Structure 1
Amino acid sequence: MEIRRQYLGHFQFIVRKQFYRKHLVGTVSSQSSTGPNQPQARMKYPPPPSREICHKWLRDHCRLGHLCRFVHGDLDYGSPAPTPPGLRRPDPPPPEPIFPITVHDHTKVRIGSGFEIHEVTTSVETPWIVLSNIPARMKTNTIAQLLSPFGSVLDLRFPGTPTKDVMTVKARFSSHAEALQASATLDGSMVLKTRISARVPVNSRSGAVSIQDCTVRIQWEAPQKVAYGGYPTLIRAEEAIAAAKTLCGDYHVSAFIHVGLPSIGNVTVKFVHLPPSADEKDLERFGRPEDVMWERPNYPALSPAVDGIRRMLHNLGNLLELDIHPPPYSNGLIRAWATFSSSSAARSAAWALHGRKPVFTGKTRIFVRHVQVLSYHLPLDAYQKDAALIDALRVTAFRNGCAMAVAVRRLPATVLVRLSAEGTKPLGWLKAEFEMISRGEILRSDGVAVWDYFFTRPDGGTYLRSVAGNEPAVRIEVDAVRRLLKLFGPPPRRAALRTILLRKLTELKAQRVRVIRVSGRVVSAFITTQLARLCSKFGAENIHVDIWESTVTFRGDDALYDAGVDAVHQAQQSLLAQPRYRRNIVECPVCFNEVVSPITTRCGHTWCRACLAQYLLAAIENRRFPLTCLGDEAKCTEHIPLTAARDVLQPSEFNSVVEASISSYVHAHAKELHYCPSPDCLQIYRTGPKGTVVQCPACLLRICSHCHAEAHDGFACPEQDGGDRLFKEWAASHDVKNCPGCAIPIERDEGCNHVTCIQCQTHICWVCLQTFPKGEGIYGHMRAEHGGIHPQD
């Protein structure tokens, strides 16, 4: 890591040196013009083949004068020779296409060469809205007329066969803004004497899913009874307990050793969650007990209980639907979901019914919770592939208590998976875990994907198979193209395997590191003749070459180090390491040495692959986009192609540069784009008018897009005048001004009046706050309008 920091630091020094050389050359050239003491025009020479400045001339070491193939700043060059007839300059290559990329699972960007962001589609933007509680008698043209004031309706989707008095309709507008306005206006409005609900759906990895907070989850005991069976031996009793782990009608029966009264036989087994109609014949398959004793059922039948629950809900008002989960019944509980016309009605119902002990449930307690629900409709084949993992998630959610639940219901053509939780935080966890079932969990450390080429080698594959053998419920997938490890399986088992793999990665990073220092020309020969062979045998991540410090670093055991020493000796003996005097060499625009492992960009400039990679990686910290070529003494304005960037960067590094570019773009458009206020959430949303609420698709936080805080339904945005007033008082006494580009406060400590905003990269005259694209003309403006470039001038 220390070597890498030195490498980047030296690289940043080289880039700064490019800037000073650029201005140094301009100064020398301006002094070469004819002046009063020079009445005769200076001789003009033919332009050299290369447009780049001679670096030896900059160091006063070049004596070739106008014969040099590079530019000398103290010479005057004439116009280039005319192009011979019939020979024309080749056409420039066509512009690189703009690529669509999805980041953080939900945000879509269109990115071009130089990592320039052309368009951002935030994670909450969708042209669809979901209309619930629509009267089933409404026709298509009536619904279209209802939506027409908000924009163009491109699509309307109805349920196949509505069986209730109300239905759910999906409508697609031409833009997200239209959908947002329709949702805000129609939600809670009255249509044909019915109060409807309108929502913008939440994006997920599997597409848009509907989220509801107008639902209560109801649980109560199923009608059941308890039996006690006597067995002569403990072995017979254990066999009966094992046999009881099957369905008895619609019930999952549980059994365990019972100590105390009643005592039947030598060993007593207690059977719970039996159907109320169960008798001795049903217990015969559980090891044929010698004697049986029964408790009375808690209540005789389910139908009266369901009717009673429905009657209680109807008496509260605003009930839209009651959905009873079908059998089999787990843990002796009946589960149901009641949907109301509004969130407030659902909360009132939960408050009124929770904990009651009605007669029709045998005076057993009912549990009613106001929950938020996410519903997924999965194709049958997709569900069957992941059924075991979905069931494991259901068990995990149940063990975490009543705060969350997973319910699965088979429909004729699809499978409905309903996730419910009391609050957005547990629901967001359930959503992430459910979507990981099909996509897998990427192995990360501190939020960053981790990888080592060890996992692509045969010994790495053997290691992964041995680790996975200890956790048969978890599958490990190696994505060598994207440099990722993915884990599939239940959350607890994944967590155990994650710990083992992260420990292995720590061991790999802790391997012995040894450095060999050689001359610069030997480094070039080593890269050209030996590096590829060593990387293919020992892994590229274990060998690092620093061309500026002239070092080769090896991370690994003695076998790698011995092979590296032999490779360095062979590089020293090669012809490439011998001194040569060539004039027609290609120099890298970063290190100014002969190009090693060349890569040529679209503008024709050739770089060392390592130099180009480090230039791109330095942008992660610098955040100055778009990235342009450093050729022609950093005067080239051509953007670095993304194809070249993909060629020299690893996928994780490429993604890091993309994320840095997006972050820079968001900061440069601070009035329009914002990050989700949840800690560590990287989703983006757009500023909206007052009263506009958006929901983050990752953490499910509802956000007021006007004041950028958590949604405060029914209340005005919090006032912030107190803090603003104090800040304005401080800014007035500290020479602080607002950037004319992004409005962020800027404080100038020292230096000239040319200020560059670190957030939006706007070039500003500090005196009058006039802006200058790319800084062109700002110094002339300051001299002409303000008498100089410094405050004291």
Structure 2
Amino acid sequence: MSCPVHKYIKITLGPGFVIQDVTTHNETRNLVIDNLPSGTKKDALVRLLESFGGTVVAVQMSSGGAYEGGKPFFARVQMKSHREAIAVANGLNGMKALRCNGELFVRPELPRAAIRSQVSDSSIRVSWTLPTTSLYLGFDTLEGAQMAVRTADGYDWNGYWVTASIYSGIPVVKEYDVRLSGLPPNVDHELVCKRFGVHRTDIMRDKPSRFLRGFGIPQAKNRLEGFGRIVGFDVSPAPYKDGVVRAWCHFETPDIALAARELDGIEQRCLNDEKIAISRVYSLEYPIRRTVHRHIGDAISNLREVVHRFLPGCLLRIPDHNKRQDTITFEINAEDSKSLLDIRARLADIVQGELVMDGNGPLWDRILSTPFGADRMNSIRSSNREVLIVVRKLQSFIRVIGPPEKRASAIAAIRQLVATFQRQPVHTVTLPASRPGLFMHPSLIRLREKHGTDKLWLDIRNRRLCIRGDEAMYAEVQTAVYTANKEVHSHDHSRTLCPVCFDEPTPSVVLSCGDVYCKECLAGYLAAGAETRHFPLRCFGDDGKCQKPIPLHVAQDVLQDEQWDLLVAAAFNTHVVAKPDEFRFCPTPDCQQVYRPGAKDTVYSCPECLLSICPYCEVEYHEGSTCDDQSYRINGAFDEASVGLQPYDLLALSDAYVLGVYGDF
């Protein structure tokens, strides 16, 4: 059975919720092999690829292939598995083979869903100087001139940013002159007189310039549309303090953006012969759930203003604000990757909020996974409506999202709640190995109803009851277990009885092995597997002798949708943790995505948190250096420092080196 996990990962489930197959977001079986020499035969290419230990499923030569006048060509190849494709890429890339002129270039070809989450190169930043004019105002007194400077300096004249200063030089208007710069070329002198208190005869104008309609924005956009389809055109808002208009143009493809960059530094007649400046822009999308955005909208608006004011070449925009969608997609634009990552990191800090910590780890208590804990957490939410409190039961952490000044009270309430829970001791009572179903005995059900599921729960893996309470409650549970065990022992252990409650199954669920359960008993046993994470989930009928996995279609029939999702996610996390050689967790704290190791010198963008990852080095992407450089920096520095040292010196050096690289723990 196939089903999605964490939105971007597909898994195949087997009986008992055993994970049979996992397809991650960065997984691909496809390769592109470039610089193949003319005349290369498909059979020869297949033999070369399979020499790395894999199986070639399909080969597609580029159009024309070996018949294009002896020019090198490329081929698309599909291997049997992701691991085989990565082995070929790491082994064959940069190798001289098949009599090629130079080296072969081999790179994995990601699926379309993964490509969409990568950094885009189809945008450019466009800027041009805005034509303005200057006026000289004459005053009889210094006080009048100074008053005019205070009034006019920094004045927003319909989008034109006016600067004013005391002026001495040519032209001379009166005893004290003031120069106003940055005015629109068609400025009305009568309005200048009214706003700054001067007579019409006391104004002189600098050399005239032609007025640019709409700040030149329509003209620039029309000029760029000649290169190809524009999917977005954003302009920094007026006023333009430095007299420069900046716009971000988003084309349909990177090729169009590359062609448009040819206009850089060329005078444009449509802009009154002003030169246009065009630079490359990186863009990245950042989706935010609408429910989260409601709590952080003001903080994001402040970030957009900061980006506009202090990072002239950058932009944070909303390309499509469709209210019908569950998410709002922001787009980050920057001229260099450092600025792009910086803005994304600041946006991520706002979106992810604050993780509630307990010392060095997340604050957590298992009661928070129970209905009782959820009710108590909902009461905290109702008292702190200006923040969003996210409780992740599978990952066992709490995150508070919202303005920092509002988060403090919610976090304090959460700490107090968990402290109240943890003040009570936890006792355990071991169940008989052949009768784990005693947990569903009527006497123990009555105790759970009396004390609550947060104080009495089942540890399936260790087959024991856990009690959070005082000695009196502990003794009460011990008595109930003894009574239930004695009562069950006197019954006929027929396979027609429910192995959980040892009663007539009502309503009954028959498994393929022949054992019969009550529907509610089986649902309770399966749901507990999301907490115990001991897979496969097996039948324990016939006094615990039956060990056949529970069929998935049966589990779907008895579990609610939420219980099913939690159990699938728990099975997936357990599988990933058990196979550290096959899977890697995203380096971003509390990000749920996993990926498979990839080829050297490639970059993978996590679809959840958008972190750029090197899937070969298994760290955040090291832009500007190769994977071999990264390995040499760590291993080479240690080897170089250790030359000529004795064994006892190497031990001390290793300790000192760890502290030097990773800091003092």
TM-score normalised per structure 2: 0.49
